[in-house]
Structure 1
Amino acid sequence: MNSIIMINGKVNFQITLDPGVWIFDDRKVDLTTYFTQEKEAKDELEEYTKSVSKHWDREIIEGAIVPPTLKTERTFKKQKVLNGTFGIPFKPFLENAEIQEDATMVQFITADEPVTVPLEKAYEIILGFSLKGKPLQEDGPIHLYFGDGSNASNPIKNIKEICVI
């Protein structure tokens, strides 16, 4: 099975997506809670600053030695990655492809029939890539979830290509 997906069409740069590496991406979201939790706008620079500050404070208080609680946190995060169901926002990929001004729709070409979505709605899409810690082999490599969660229990599957039209 080919797990590479192309974004092409009315874009300045064709993008190649490889869902197999997204498990290491910090932008991934937990699909078991994503559509049920309240969304809050995040300032990425502020989040990064808080994270670095927390690490710095911890190092000053506890020293550079890794405390047992941090080892437990790392184990927990590793287990979550190995057993989790994850997706990734589609918006950054569209932005990197630099969509041309005359584009209005995004077409997801599946094994069955194409699914066409208005460009505004496409920016809110979440691409599922992992189910219970395993890549989507049989009906993947990605699943499409609308940002409002309207198809959270029945995502669009078997996506082979993405074309901006």
Structure 2
Amino acid sequence: MENIIILSGKVKYTITLDPTVWIFDDRKIDLNTYFSTTNEKSDELEKYTKSISKHWDREIMEGAIYPPTLKTEKKYEKEKMLTGSFGIPFQPFIKNAEPDENASSLIIRTASSEHEISLDIAKDLILGFSVSGKPLSEDGPVHVYYGDGSNQQNPIKSVREFIIK
């Protein structure tokens, strides 16, 4: 039960977070590249339309081609999961908890301290749950990174609870 983290406080729903299952979540991000690349917030529909259009154009010009590298891509993804460092955005969890209208801050309670940040900053947090393919058993279950990467070298560790005030 020490891997379970509770998101509670001024919320409509208390959320229980289990970082051990996030490796299978499609929302996970690669912490090795996330802070070094620029993150564009784009329209998902526009991105989807452009990718379909590009695919359609290619099929018209070349005909349907099935990729011969499907097996090697699966092997690469498996290797990446076994050796990668991953995190997950915190924003969907805040959204699902449905904070009160007058909620303004988030308290991150660790094993030894508390950190209070505004709810606007909290929506950009990244929860790191894996380093080099291993769960964070020593100082975990999660590390908290600010969305801008300002604490990338020194994240908030040993998180036990999130409380919305």
Shared fold (TM-score greater than 0.5)?
yes
1:73 aligned partner? 73
Find runs of 4+ consecutive structure 1 residues off by over 4 angstroms: 45-58
Q: 1:61 aligns with which of 45, 61, 64?
A: 64
Report the alpha carbon displacement of residue 40 of structure 1 after superposing the two structures with TM.
1.1
After superposition, the C-alpha distances for 1:42-78 in whole angstroms (9 at most, x for unaligned) are: 43445556677889988x7246xxx540111111111
Which runs of structure 2 are paired with 1:31-110 in the superposition (5 Å)? 31-47=31-47, 61-62=64-65, 67-110=67-110
SS, match of residue 69 in structure 2? helix
Structure 2: which amino acid aligns with 1:61? A
Does residue 113 of structure 2 align to residue 113 of structure 1? yes
Structure 2: which amino acid aligns with 1:101? E
| Percent of aligned pairs with the same amino acid | 55
2:157 aligned partner? 157
The change in CA–CA distance for 1:80 and 1:147 in structure 2 (over 3 A counts) is: same
After superposition, the C-alpha distances for 1:3-23 in whole angstroms (9 at most, x for unaligned) are: 010000000000010101111
After superposition, the C-alpha distances for 1:52-107 in whole angstroms (9 at most, x for unaligned) are: 7889988x7246xxx54011111111111111000010000000000001111100
- Write the distance in 2 (CA, Å) between the matches of 1:81 and 1:160: 25
1:9 aligned partner? 9
Report the alpha carbon displacement of residue 112 of structure 1 after superposing the two structures with TM.
0.9
Give the length in aligned residue pairs: 161
Bigger drift between 155-164 and 36-45 goes to: 36-45
TM-score normalised per structure 1: 0.88
2:140 aligned partner? 140
SS, match of residue 64 in structure 2? helix
SS, match of residue 100 in structure 1? coil
After superposition, the C-alpha distances for 1:103-136 in whole angstroms (9 at most, x for unaligned) are: 1110011001111111110001000000000110
The change in CA–CA distance for 1:145 and 1:80 in structure 2 (over 3 A counts) is: same
1:20 aligned partner? 20
- Write the distance in 1 (CA, Å) between the matches of 2:130 and 2:44: 24
